[in-house]
Amino acid sequence: MLNSHSQPVVLRGTGVSAGLVVGKVVRSHKSMAKLPDFPIQPAQLEAERERLRTALNESRQQLENMQERLAAELSEQHAEIMTFHLMLLDDPTLLTNIDAILRTDLVCVEQATIRAIERFSQDISQKNNAMLRERAGDIRDVGARILRNLAFPAAKEAETAPIRDAEPHVLVAEDIPPSEAAHMDPRLIAAFITAGGSRTSHTAILARALGIPAIVAANGIDILEPGAIVALDGATGEIHVNPDRDTIAAFLQETDRQKAWLSSLLAENHQPAETLDGYQTCLVANVELPSEALTLRERYNVGIGLFRTEFLFLNSCKVLNEEEQFEAYKTTAEAVYPMSVIFRTLDIGGDKFLSLIDMQHELNPFMGMRAIRFSLHRPDLFRVQLRAMLRASAFGKVRIMFPLISTLDELIHALEHLEEVKQDLRRRCIPFNEKLEVGCMIEVPSAAILAERLVNHVDFFSIGTNDLVQYSLAVDRSNPDIAYLYQPPHPAILRLIRNVVTVACEHGKWVSLCGEMAAEPLYTPLVLGMGIHELSMSPVAIPPIRRLIRSINMYDAENLVAEALHCGSADEVEVLCRKLIAKACPEMLPHTKK
Ligand code: PEP
Ligand code: MG
């Protein structure tokens, strides 16, 4: 085992959520514990204030220690960052706001701090001054530190050690199921490393949604003892254990460079995703957490191409009733308006389980009672969800789609349920959008091959490459040992996608692609050249993909596809893609899959 006094070592894994973090290893899921959220009585105010004072003193002490260390080991310039954090800790506005929220909202100090920090950083993000806007991140960092100290106070150190510490926590685990990842709090967990997992596992997808840098399929994690310092790069998958001062300095420098790059990309948000020769495509977001939807329009200027509704259930640990679902869908539809949102009906099963819904143990869950199969098996739950979605359609631009359609019968049955729910709403004079568009996901080879049988029943197709690849190439999408066989640009996959797009276009329908393939810059020329109308991806992937599209010619992308369709392997296709990107937008090459 390595601890904080051992020699530097480098471990490697697959980077699945970008970001650089220097932090301390924790091995306990306790550190993912939810922050307290409870109402208080006026008589408890003083006790809450005292907790805040203690946490602030702790935070101050930690920052001063770090400042000293940075000045001694790195440079005065790095130590300066801590000066700003220390100033924030003493900022009278912040403290007055926390106290005002405590008094008026009568909530525990953790919640008062969260609200005050959120307001403070939002105020700053809206300023015209770019330097100030960049400070919004520092405010959240300081907020996270205060919250960590509130959650793991010094008095309990012995009990919770080594969870509580000045350094951000890097959770290390054999594997983390999506149901647990859904509860991770980025203010408590700065990054995670697992031995299992893959790029398209739902845990990795959630890490990107939560903005938590993550590395999966990491080798040798057994040597990571609680308390060891690691510097990890969630893009390259490199983990420096007990990094030396040069490595830490390089990390801090690279963090600054990436922040500046991201800022320049975000400034292009209002430009269309249009190729140099004038072909426009639509970029939209995949959303797992309802809270993400609230900031999407403002931050990325996009709507939602895939709302994975199962995470509403996984997050709240219960089966939501119609009213609860309606509220969540309505809030989302209103938040992204005038842009649209595609709600996907429940896709549980596979690697996503809800302990509250009784599901049989299956030998092969990805091939089993999953997604639309489960909804058709439990029409009581399915109809409640359809009702809630339809009712929300009166409040924004809502579309609905069904996951994992593998036969025409399934699609017809799902549509029959939808029609019956509509009839009932009409009878009761409950408003919904009569022109609501309905689509089906293409995730199973049979659906891709028989697209021409499905097309007349839907308004659009949405290609889910995460599953289409696993089912077409017989590769479990979450098994790291066979990840080398998981190849989205495999010519067989390209031919399936090509068929779906051709059929849709012949029938005047549109096609979206919402698997992770849409978020990988290396494949952007391919999906563009195949004529996909809409690309849906993790919000963080949108700015770089937009810039890449704006640097490419559709003419070149179409030629690339023509060649790729005749290649014999995914490797050959990737060579072609890399060549095109090297010529059109070389700055994107370091961000492509290795
Ligand atoms: C897909 O399969 O590509 C998809 C988007 O659905 P999920 O990842 O939720 O299975
Ligand atoms: Mg899928």
Per the rule left: phi > 0, alpha: psi between -120 and 50, beta: everything else, 346 is beta
Q: State which ligand 1 atom lies nearest to the alpha carbon of 403.
A: 6
pLDDT at 286: 97
The DSSP bridge pattern shows strands 534-537 and 510-513 to be: parallel
- The domain over range 42-150 is classified in CATH as 1.10.274.10: yes
Query: At residue 463, what are phi and psi to the nearest 5 degrees?
Result: -85, 120
pLDDT at 98: 93
- The domain over range 9-30+163-260 is classified in CATH as 3.40.50.620: no
Query: At residue 493, what are phi and psi to the nearest 5 degrees?
Result: -65, -40
Q: CA-CA distances (angstroms) from residue 47 to 41, 139, 156?
A: 11, 25, 17
Averaged pLDDT of the chain: 89
Q: State which ligand 1 atom lies nearest to the alpha carbon of 205.
A: 8
Which of the listed residues 441, 478, 513 should we mutate to test ligand 1's pocket, taking the one with most ligand atoms within 8 A of CB? Answer: 441
pLDDT tens, 527-542?
A: 999 999 999 999 999 9
Q: Are 398 and 341 in contact (CB under 8 A)?
A: yes
The answer to whether the CB of 310 is under 6 A from ligand 1 is: no
Residue 182 CA to residue 184 CA, distance in Å, equals 6
Q: Are 196 and 173 in contact (CB under 8 A)?
A: no
Q: What ligand has the least distance to the C-alpha of 497?
A: 1
Q: Are 72 and 139 in contact (CB under 8 A)?
A: no
The answer to whether the CB of 465 is under 6 A from ligand 1 is: yes
Q: Are 179 and 314 in contact (CB under 8 A)?
A: yes
User: Any idea which of 123-127, 220-224, 254-258, 381-385 has the lowest mean pLDDT?
Assistant: 123-127
- Angle made by CA atoms 379, 382, 387, in degrees to the nearest 5: 120
**Residue 128 or 122, more confident:** 122
Nearest CA to ligand 1 atom 1: 464
pLDDT tens, 577-594?
A: 999 999 999 999 888 877
Nearest CA to ligand 1 atom 9: 308
- The domain over range 270-588 is classified in CATH as 3.20.20.60: yes
Nearest CA to ligand 1 atom 3: 464
**Residue recorded with tokens 């975000």:** 266
Residue 344 CA to residue 501 CA, distance in Å, equals 20
* Domain layout of the chain by residue ranges: 9-30+163-260, 42-150, 270-588
Nearest CA to ligand 1 atom 4: 464
For residue 6, the one-letter residue type is: S
Query: At residue 340, what are phi and psi to the nearest 5 degrees?
Result: -105, 170
The answer to whether the CB of 462 is under 6 A from ligand 1 is: no
Cα 67 to ligand 2 centre (Å):
47
pLDDT at 433: 98
pLDDT at 10: 94
Quick check: bond before 162 cis, omega within 30? Answer: yes
pLDDT at 538: 95
**Percent of the chain whose predicted confidence (pLDDT) is above 70:** 91
Residue 212 CA to residue 23 CA, distance in Å, equals 13
Please identify every residue whose CB atom is under 5 Å from ligand 2, which is an ion. 443, 464, 467
Cα 467 to ligand 1 centre (Å):
6
Nearest CA to ligand 1 atom 7: 466
pLDDT tens, 269-294?
A: 899 999 999 999 999 999 988 788 88
Cα 466 to ligand 1 centre (Å):
5
Cα 462 to ligand 1 centre (Å):
10
Burial (Cβ within 10 Å: 0-12, 13-18, ≥19) of residue 260: exposed
The answer to whether the CB of 288 is under 6 A from ligand 1 is: no
Which of the listed residues 284, 512, 514, 523 should we mutate to test ligand 1's pocket, taking the one with most ligand atoms within 8 A of CB? Answer: 514
Catalytic positions are 202, 514
The answer to whether the CB of 443 is under 6 A from ligand 1 is: yes
pLDDT at 31: 61
Question: Mutual orientation of helices 542-549 and 245-266 as an angle, nearest 10°?
Answer: 60
Cα 288 to ligand 1 centre (Å):
11
Q: What ligand has the least distance to the C-alpha of 519?
A: 1
Q: What is the CA radius of gyration of the chain?
A: 25
Q: What is the mean pLDDT of residues 431-447?
A: 98
Q: Are 472 and 516 in contact (CB under 8 A)?
A: no
**Residue recorded with tokens 């995670």:** 192
pLDDT at 159: 37
Cα 550 to ligand 1 centre (Å):
26
What does DSSP assign to residue 531? T
Q: Which helix (H) or strand (E) holds 559?
A: helix 554-564
Q: Do 42-150 and 270-588 show the same overall fold? A: no
Residue 245 CA to residue 72 CA, distance in Å, equals 10
pLDDT tens, 363-399?
A: 888 898 999 999 999 999 999 999 999 999 999 999 9
pLDDT tens, 127-183?
A: 666 666 667 777 877 888 888 888 777 644 433 333 334 578 899 999 888 878 877
pLDDT tens, 59-93?
A: 888 888 777 876 776 667 667 777 888 888 888 88
Cα 469 to ligand 1 centre (Å):
10
3-state secondary structure of 4: coil
Nearest CA to ligand 1 atom 8: 466
The answer to whether the CB of 347 is under 6 A from ligand 1 is: yes
